[in-house]
C-alpha cells in the first residue's frame, strides 16, 4: 500500500477557483518519493523533485483518441475507457512565488532522462511514453495489449534486423530498439518454415535466404544447435558472421497499444497546466503556477515531438491547447510509435519506418511519393492549437537521418517555405547533438562506451550553447510575443544545398582523410502494404520487408576551403576553428565498413605550424598562421564570443565558460 503525501500548493481559495478534472484524463497522481535539491546557482530557488506514477483513462470513441492504432481493440474498464499508467518526475521550486510560470516538459530518450533544479525557476517535467520499455531505472509507460474478437490474439508481420553481433555468436536476443533494447513480440509459431531469415553483405546487396533447417527460435548459448526452444532468441547453425546483416521476418502476436504514449504525455501536461486535483482528490502539485508549457525533445524524442503535433495530440480531450511552445531538436523524422508492433527505439536503419508521413511544416504536395498535399501542422491548424515552434538541427541530420526532404521536399526542386509560427536554426558542422564534452580539444571528442569505430576522430564542435540561447528566445516568444531572430539554415536559393558528393560540396583534398562520397544514409521510399497509413505513420506494416519503390533525392550543405559548413548559426568553435568539423564519418570495421559511421561526425585538426602543414601537404592554413600563438587564439575566442552574445546566439554565462576553456586548452601552447 502507498501513502498519499501531503503537497503544499497554495491557498485553499486558489484551488477552489481552478478548473476541475472533469475533462482532464489523468485520473490519479501518486507521489512515491520526494527529494530536496539545492539551488542551481547562488540566488536561485531551492527545489524539490517528486517521483512517482500516474494513471489515466482515454475514451476510445473520442475523436482525439481514435487515431491511436488498435485502441478499439484494447480491453475496456467498466466505464468503457482504456486505462494506462506511467512514471514521472517533476522538479519544482519550494517557494511557489519563485516559479517562473514555465513548465518545461522534456521527452525522455528511450526512457533515459532526469530533472533538476532550474536556475530560472522553471518547473521541469519528464514522464514515460514508451510502452515497450520495462527497465526499472527508466521512465516507462504501461499500456494494454489489444486482442481480436472473442479474445483471439491480434497478429501482424514483424521484422527484426541484426548487425554488429559478436563474431561467431551462436544465438542472439530478439530485441527491437537501440540504446535500450526492447523485447519484440513473441512469434505465433516456432516453426521456422513459417518465418524467414536472410542475410546481406551490405544494405544495397541482394538478400540471401537462409534455409529454415539452419536456424531456430532457440537459445544456443549453452546447448548446441538446434538449441533449447526460446521465442526470444535466434539461433544460427555455425554461428553469426559480424560482417553480415541478418533480417528476421515472422508473424507476431499480442500488440501493445503503443500509441497511447502520445495520449499519456498529453494528459499529464494538460493536468499539470490547468487541473486542481485528480479524481481521488490529490492536489495538482503545480496548480496555479503554470502559464506557458513548452515541449522539447532531442533525437528520437524530437521525432516524438513532431508526431505529437502532427497527430493532433497538442489538443487535450477538453479541446484546449496543451503546449504553447515546442522544440524538436536534431529530429529529422517522425517516431514510429503509433504502429502495430512499432519500434520507437529505431534509428533510420534499412527497412525502418519513420519518414513516410509529412516531414515539412508548410503544406507541400508530395508528388514523388503520391501522398498528396499535407503538413505537420494540418491538425493543430484546424483546431487552433498549434504551438510556436523552434526547430534545431545540425549536419549529422543531413548525412545520417535523411533531413533533406524537410527543407526541399521529396523532389528536391526548391526550398519549402516556413509558416509564421515556426523558426528554424541550423547548427553547421556538428555531429548528432553536437559535442558532448565541448571545449577546444585538438584530439577531438572522446567516443562514448560502445560507440562505433570510425576512421576520423570524433567531432568536438558543440551545439548546446547555441540551443540554450534559442530556447530562451522561444520562451520569450511564447510568454511575451517577442519574435525570435529570423530563421537561419541552408537553402537552395543561396546555393547552400548541393549533391552529397565531395566535388559538389567543395570538399578539400586533405591528405589521409576519407572522402564524403558514399557516406549519405540514402532516403528510400518504402511500400509497407495497404494496411499502413503513410500520411499519419500509423496502422499495420503488412509487407515486411517493405518493397523499395524509389530513391528520394537528398541534398547536403556545402563547405568552405577548410571543409567547414557555411550556413546557419555557427558555434564559437566553428568561427574560431582548430580543424575541419564534419557531420559524417567513415565506419572503420564491421558490417558497412567504408560507409557512414552512424550519426558520428568527424574531425581533422589543422597542422600546428606552417612547416607541419607543408610537410603534410595539407591545403588548410595552420593554427600558427591563423592565430599566431595561444594568446592570439584566446583573444580571438573572446572577441567572437562577445559578438555572439551581442547577436543573441550565446548567453553571457556560456561565453565566459568558452573563454575559460580556450585559455585552458593546448591550442598553440
String of DSSP letters for 268-333: HHHHHHH-SB-TT-PBPTTTTT-SEEEEEEETHHHHHHHHHHHTTTTB-TTS-BS-SEEEEES--S
Axis-axis angle for helices 652-664, 464-480 (nearest 10): 170
DSSP annotation of 151: G
Could you state, in order of their start, the residue ranges of all structural domains in the chain?
1-144+257-290, 155-253
Distance, CA of 416 to CA of 377 (rounded, Å): 14
- What's the pTM? 0.95
CB atoms within 10 A of CB 654: 21
**DSSP β-ladder status, 123-127 and 82-93:** antiparallel
CA angle, 548 then 551 then 555, to 5°: 150
Of 381, 393, 403, the residue nearest 309 (C-alpha): 381
Question: Mean pLDDT, to the nearest integer, of 55-82?
Answer: 96
**DSSP β-ladder status, 245-253 and 196-200:** antiparallel
Residues 6+ apart with CB under 8 A from 347: 178, 300, 599
The pLDDT tens digits of the residues spanning 178-233 come to: 888 898 999 999 999 999 999 999 999 999 999 999 999 999 999 999 999 999 99
The pLDDT tens digits of the residues spanning 84-121 come to: 999 999 999 999 999 999 999 999 999 999 999 999 99
- Identify the CATH number of the domain defined by range 155-253: 2.60.40
Contact 567, 489 (CB under 8 A): yes
495: left (phi over 0), alpha (psi -120 to 50) or beta: left
Structure confidence at residue 24 (pLDDT): 52
Structure confidence at residue 449 (pLDDT): 84
Of 344, 591, 605, the residue nearest 460 (C-alpha): 605
Position of cell 547577436? 647
Distance, CA of 175 to CA of 234 (rounded, Å): 10
- Residues 250-272: b if buried by 16+ CB within 10 A, e if exposed: bebbebbbbbbbbbbbbbbbbbb
Distance, CA of 502 to CA of 114 (rounded, Å): 41
Q: Residue 5: pLDDT above 50?
A: no
State CA 116 to chain mean position distance.
21
CB atoms within 10 A of CB 41: 10
Tell me what percent of the residues of the chain surpass a pLDDT of 90. 92
**DSSP β-ladder status, 388-394 and 422-427:** parallel
C-alpha to C-alpha distances, 558 to 199, 475, 555, 566, 570, nearest whole angstrom: 36, 32, 9, 7, 14
Residues in the chain: 669
The pLDDT tens digits of the residues spanning 585-643 come to: 999 999 999 999 999 999 999 999 999 999 999 999 999 999 999 999 999 999 999 99
Banded model confidence at residue 14, pLDDT cuts 50, 70, 90: very low
Structure confidence at residue 450 (pLDDT): 82
| Phi, psi torsion values for 249, nearest 5 degrees | -125, 125
Amino acid at each position: 500500500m502507498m501513502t498519499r503525501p501531503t503537497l503544499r500548493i497554495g491557498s485553499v481559495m486558489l484551488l477552489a477557483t481552478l478548473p476541475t478534472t472533469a475533462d482532464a484524463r489523468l485520473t490519479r497522481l501518486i507521489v512515491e518519493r520526494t527529494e530536496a535539491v539545492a539551488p542551481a546557482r547562488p540566488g536561485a530557488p531551492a527545489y524539490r523533485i517528486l517521483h512517482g506514477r500516474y494513471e489515466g483513462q482515454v475514451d476510445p470513441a473520442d475523436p482525439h483518441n481514435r487515431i491511436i492504432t488498435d485502441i478499439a481493440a484494447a480491453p475496456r474498464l467498466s466505464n468503457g475507457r482504456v486505462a494506462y499508467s506511467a512514471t514521472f518526475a517533476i522538479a519544482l521550486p519550494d517557494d511557489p512565488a519563485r516559479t517562473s510560470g514555465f513548465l518545461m516538459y522534456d521527452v525522455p530518450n528511450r526512457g533515459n532522462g532526469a530533472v533538476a533544479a532550474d536556475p530560472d525557476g522553471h518547473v521541469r517535467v519528464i514522464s514515460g511514453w514508451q510502452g515497450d520499455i520495462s527497465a526499472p531505472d527508466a521512465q516507462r509507460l504501461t499500456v494494454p495489449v489489444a486482442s481480436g474478437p472473442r479474445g483471439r490474439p491480434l497478429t501482424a508481420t514483424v521484422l527484426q534486423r541484426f548487425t554488429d553481433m559478436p563474431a561467431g555468436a551462436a544465438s542472439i536476443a530478439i530485441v527491437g530498439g537501440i540504446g535500450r533494447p526492447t523485447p519484440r513480440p513473441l512469434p505465433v509459431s516456432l516453426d521456422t518454415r513459417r518465418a524467414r531469415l536472410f542475410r546481406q553483405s551490405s544494405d544495397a546487396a541482394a538478400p540471401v535466404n537462409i534455409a529454415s533447417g539452419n536456424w531456430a527460435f532457440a537459445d544456443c548459448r549453452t546447448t548446441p544447435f538446434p538449441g533449447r526452444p526460446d521465442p526470444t532468441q535466434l539461433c544460427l547453425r555455425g554461428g553469426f558472421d559480424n560482417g553480415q546483416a541478418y533480417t528476421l521476418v515472422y508473424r507476431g502476436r499480442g500488440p501493445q497499444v503503443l500509441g497511447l504514449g502520445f495520449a499519456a504525455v498529453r494528459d499529464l501536461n494538460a493536468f499539470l497546466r490547468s487541473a486542481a486535483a485528480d479524481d481521488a482528490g490529490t492536489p495538482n502539485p503545480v496548480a496555479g503556477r503554470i502559464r506557458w508549457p513548452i515541449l522539447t525533445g532531442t533525437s528520437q524524442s524530437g521525432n516524438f515531438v513532431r508526431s505529437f503535433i502532427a497527430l493532433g495530440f497538442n489538443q487535450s480531450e477538453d479541446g484546449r491547447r496543451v503546449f504553447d511552445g515546442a522544440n524538436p531538436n536534431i529530429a529529422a523524422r517522425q517516431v514510429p510509435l503509433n504502429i502495430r508492433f512499432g519500434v520507437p527505439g529505431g534509428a533510420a536503419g534499412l527497412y525502418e519506418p519513420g519518414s513516410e508521413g509529412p516531414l515539412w511544416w508548410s503544406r507541400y504536395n508530395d508528388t514523388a511519393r503520391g501522398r498528396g498535399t499535407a503538413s505537420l501542422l494540418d491538425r493543430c491548424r484546424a483546431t487552433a492549437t498549434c504551438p510556436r515552434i523552434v526547430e534545431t538541427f545540425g549536419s549529422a541530420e543531413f548525412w545520417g537521418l535523411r533531413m533533406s526532404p524537410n527543407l526541399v521536399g521529396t523532389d528536391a526542386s526548391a526550398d519549402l517555405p516556413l509558416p509564421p509560427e515556426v523558426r528554424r536554426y541550423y547548427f553547421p558542422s556538428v555531429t548528432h547533438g553536437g559535442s558532448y564534452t565541448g571545449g577546444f580539444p585538438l584530439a577531438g571528442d572522446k567516443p562514448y562506451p560502445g560507440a562505433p569505430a570510425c576512421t576520423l576522430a570524433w567531432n568536438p564542435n558543440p551545439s548546446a550553447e547555441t540551443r540554450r540561447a534559442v530556447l530562451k528566445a522561444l520562451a520569450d516568444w511564447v510568454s511575451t510575443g517577442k519574435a525570435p531572430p529570423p530563421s537561419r539554415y541552408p537553402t537552395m536559393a543561396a546555393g547552400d544545398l548541393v549533391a552529397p558528393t565531395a566535388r559538389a560540396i567543395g570538399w578539400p583534398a586533405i591528405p589521409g582523410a576519407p572522402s564524403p562520397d558514399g557516406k549519405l544514409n540514402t532516403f528510400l521510399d518504402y511500400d509497407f502494404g495497404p494496411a499502413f497509413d503513410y500520411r499519419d505513420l500509423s496502422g499495420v506494416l503488412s509487407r515486411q520487408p517493405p518493397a523499395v519503390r524509389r530513391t528520394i533525392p537528398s541534398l547536403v550543405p556545402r563547405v568552405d576551403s577548410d571543409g567547414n559548413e557555411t550556413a546557419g548559426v555557427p558555434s564559437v568553435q566553428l568561427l574560431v576553428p582548430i580543424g575541419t568539423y564534419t557531420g559524417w564519418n567513415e565506419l572503420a570495421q564491421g558490417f558497412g565498413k567504408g560507409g557512414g559511421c552512424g550519426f558520428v561526425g568527424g574531425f581533422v585538426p589543422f597542422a600546428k605550424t606552417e612547416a607541419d602543414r607543408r610537410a603534410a601537404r595539407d591545403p588548410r592554413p595552420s593554427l600558427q598562421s591563423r592565430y599566431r600563438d595561444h594568446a592570439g587564439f584566446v583573444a580571438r575566442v573572446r572577441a567572437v564570443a562577445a559578438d555572439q552574445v551581442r547577436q543573441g546566439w550565446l548567453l553571457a554565462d556560456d561565453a565566459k565558460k568558452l573563454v575559460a576553456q580556450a585559455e585552458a586548452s593546448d591550442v598553440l601552447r
